[in-house]
Amino acid sequence: MRIAIASDHAAFALKQLLIPWLTAQGHAVDDLGTHGTESVDYPDFGHAVGRAVADGKADRGVALCGSGIGISIAANRIAGCRCALVAEPLSASLARQHNDANVIALGARLIGEEMARACITAFLATEFEGGRHAPRVAKLGQIEGIPA
């Protein structure tokens, strides 16, 4: 699977731990920045990961910032990106299963490396259930102006 990953400065260290782990799991990883600990604006990186997934350049995305909140809001500004802020594996699974989330956001200041890995593992392993959830997800696209 091709994974786009991006972070702001607050989550740079966590991103640097996750990239080799994702690669070792057999995924192709596109690091969309930031590339250091200097202060940056999280919307730039939320937009980058959201755009990569919405444009089909990545199958799924991981967005990281201090709390996960700001970068998830930024990613969700991109039509076709469905980013879910998660803090544990059940939410990560349900985001995929019920909401067809294609990006997850994690708060580096709130969860550790092991919980981040558990969330990402659940997110990547879970398929969209469809069925009764499909019309709801389609409605999200209609709000964004994307035909069903």
Summarised one tens digit per residue, pLDDT across range 27-65 is: 999 999 999 999 999 999 999 999 999 999 999 999 999
For residue 9, pLDDT over 80 is answered with yes
pLDDT for 134 equals: 85
64-116 residue pLDDT tens: 999 999 999 999 999 999 999 999 999 999 999 999 999 999 999 999 999 99
Is the N-terminal amide bond of 34 cis, ω within 30° of 0?
yes
Q: How many CB atoms lie within 10 A of CB 105?
A: 31
Relative to beta strand 28-31, strand 2-7 is parallel
Whether the CB-CB separation of 29 and 19 falls below 8 Å is answered with yes
Residues marked as catalytic: 65, 98
Instruction: Write the pLDDT tens digit of every residue in 10-27.
Output: 999 999 999 999 999 999
Question: What is the per-residue pLDDT for 136?
Answer: 86
Q: What is the pTM of this model?
A: 0.95
CA dist 88 and 110 (Å) reads 11
Q: How confident is the model at residue 148 (pLDDT cuts 50, 70, 90)?
A: low
